[in-house]
A and B are shown apart, each in its own frame.
Chain A
Amino acid sequence: MRPLSRVGLYLALTVAAVTFIYPFLWMASSTLKPPLEFGSLALIPDRITLDNYRIMWSRAPFGRALLNSVFVAGTITASVLVLGSITAYAMARLTFPGRRALNAATVAVLLVPGQLTLIPLYTLIVQLGWVDTYAALIVPYLFNATAILMLRQFFLQIPQSLIDSARMDGMSELRILFTIFWPLARPPLAIVAIFTFMGSWNEVLWPLLVVRDEQTMTLPQLLTVFALGGGAGTLGVSLAAAMVLVVPVVIAYMFLQRYFIESMAGAGVKG
């Protein structure tokens, strides 16, 4: 490449990168500015204030919402990994009646658009009496078809001899799964863990349907309700609330960005 076009390339990449990163930096800095300074482009405020955070924290239960989000996303991720592995193991390595039907159903699930099932799922939750409970947020996500297909695909590649010799030693299927398969399956398990956790952490439409009580709301929902309901008052306070949701994700992303990209892009394509 000629030196001139090389400079042009890096210049263009820098402009592009600034377009994606600067809004987040501006957001972080805006939350530290007093209302009068809000519109300024400067990333370092003239006068730093924590008022936006104080107001946000006192007007809505964001601490509680943070715990709710961690609990809901954590439980779903654990379940998708553990129950998903058990299912994928059975589908990949055990012969039992109904196995082919289960495989076909899993592929079919991926083809059904979410909008089709949203309303009937909502009426189901209402009839079960689960409105405003963690069950409503967690139970419909306990299994994930994309995760099961990914894990099954990986489990199919593990040599049968490992299973045979473990069975000879009298190991149960569950023990084979968790002591032999799991250590080998760390990469796909990490991919499943990231996209499952992030999907749940960012989800907002489903909570908006099944939760009305502030105490049960996850962060994205409380944030949306807070910003829309006028509780925030100013954009600075809204953005301060958004920071609670963003900061943990950005920190995790900085350390694990390669896995995030592989996981979220991969799941999007397959799912």
Chain B
Amino acid sequence: MRAEGRSGLLMGAPYALFLLAFAAYPVFFALALVFMRWDLVTEPSFAGADNIRLLAVDARFWRAVANTFVFLAIHLPLQIATALTLALALNRPLVFRAFWRAAFFLPVVISGAVVAILWNALYATDVGLINTVLAKVGVSPIPWLTDPSLAMPAIAVMVTWKNVGFYVVIYLAGLQYIPRSCQEAIELDGATAWQRFRHLTLPLLLPQTILVVTLSTINGFQLFIEPYVMTGGGPLRRTFSVVLYMYTNAFSYQKMGYAATIGVALALIIGAVVAIQRRIIGTAEAT
């Protein structure tokens, strides 16, 4: 037994050291940075609550938070609706089921940077694929990414397209647990397809829906590469995201204390939003 303990310590030690350096230390140092002013060149100095005070009234930060809510308001319903529809279609007896699933999943394996550059080309006002298709049916070019009210919805649609395959797989897994006998019994009772969906399938898929909502919300708050590549946060800051602002503060302004404060605030906001969402979905289910 003593030999086993020694082996265990030796084999667990590298990971323990790694956790201390790259997980525990950054969490504590993030909290310390909130109270510091540091440009990475001169010595860090104590800033008291300056960063927190600044954040509370920083219009650019709150603009980015508001933008994220605009994004989520479009992205969440769209993501759930498309993922659920595709999953229900795939759950029927199908020829080439693996092919269909693989087609929907393809954008998930592609780098976000590539998807952003590709959709830049799809959304391009003059030569973009989408406007070219629309021109065929007589629609004049739409400035997808340069119109302040269209840019964020356009990005929300793109992110939905990129991630939907992932959520289809989650819903498919859930659908497999709905017993056929349940379906047949309710069918015998004369329920229509819609009634079956509304009162049987949808409630039974609640755990999957909660997962989809949680993961897409977290993902939405991490929005970075899309605005970075496609709009630079514009037009009129309407696609400016929280992570983009954090990155700008750290990388361009060298304000480590303030950037870390944004990070801590973002983590708290994500936690609060996810908790509230779960509450709402939970009560909606109970009624």
Contact = CB atoms under 8 A, between A and B. Distances in A.
Interface in A99-135: 99, 102, 105-106, 109, 112-124, 126
A68 B242 CA distance: 29
Contact of B8 (A17, A90, A261): A90
Interface in A238-271: 238-239, 242, 245-246, 249-250, 253, 257-258, 260-261, 264-265, 268-269
B150 interface: no
A97 B229 CA distance: 48
A65 to B, nearest CB: 12
B205 interface: no
B103 A20 contact: yes
Given A94-B8, A261-B169, A119 B103 contact: no
A126 B250 CA distance: 12
Interface stretch (B25-33, B62-70, B181-189, B278-286): B25-33
Interface of B: 1, 4-9, 11-12, 14-16, 18-19, 21-27, 29-30, 33, 38, 40, 86, 89-90, 92-94, 98-114, 117-122, 124, 126-129, 132-133, 161, 165-166, 169-170, 211, 215, 218, 221-222, 224-225, 228-229, 242-243, 246-247, 250-251, 256, 259-260, 263-264, 266-267, 270
B264 A116 contact: yes
Given A83-B15, A113-B270, A120-B25, A224 B113 contact: yes
B105 A261 contact: yes
A159 interface: no
A264 B108 contact: yes
Interface stretch (A45-53, A185-193, A200-208): A200-208
A118 B12 contact: no
Main DSSP-derived SS at the A contact region: helix
A223 B256 contact: no
A167 B277 CA distance: 51
A253 B250 contact: no
Nearest to B28: A120
B228 A224 contact: yes
A260 B89 contact: no
A56 interface: no
A205 B100 CA distance: 31
- Which A-B residue pairs are the 7 nearest by beta carbons? A96-B8, A94-B8, A39-B127, A90-B11, A202-B111, A117-B26, A120-B26
Given A98-B16, A121-B22, A223-B113, 12 more contacts: A16-B104, A20-B161, A91-B12, A98-B9, A116-B30, A119-B246, A119-B263, A235-B124, A250-B110, A261-B165, A264-B108, A264-B109
Main DSSP-derived SS at the B contact region: helix
A155 interface: no
Nearest to B261: A119
Contacts of B12: 87, 90-91, 94, 96, 98-99, 102
A143 interface: yes
A224 B8 contact: no
A78 B139 CA distance: 52
Interface residues of A, number: 86
A96 B100 contact: no
Contacts of A19: 161
A257 B90 CA distance: 16
14 contacts: A21-B103, A24-B110, A41-B133, A90-B7, A90-B11, A94-B4, A97-B9, A115-B222, A116-B30, A120-B29, A208-B251, A239-B118, A239-B121, A264-B108
Nearest to B169: A265
A133 to B, nearest CB: 16
Contacts of A179: none
Nearest to B250: A119
Contacts of B29: 120, 123-124
A95 interface: yes
A210 to B, nearest CB: 10
Contact of B4 (A96, A113, A260, A264): A96
A117 B30 contact: yes
A199 to B, nearest CB: 10
Given A89-B11, A148-B15, A209-B247, A39 B5 contact: no
B89 A9 contact: yes
Given A96-B4, A116-B267, A242-B114, A9 B132 contact: no
A12 B88 CA distance: 12
B110 to A, nearest CB: 6
B98 A209 contact: no
A26 interface: yes
Contacts of A204: 111-113, 225
A118 B111 contact: no
A130 B1 CA distance: 41
Interface in A117-167: 117-124, 126, 139-140, 142-143, 148
Nearest to A173: B7
A23 to B, nearest CB: 6
Contacts of A106: 19
Contact of A253 (B27, B106, B259, B264): B106
Contacts of B225: 204-205, 224
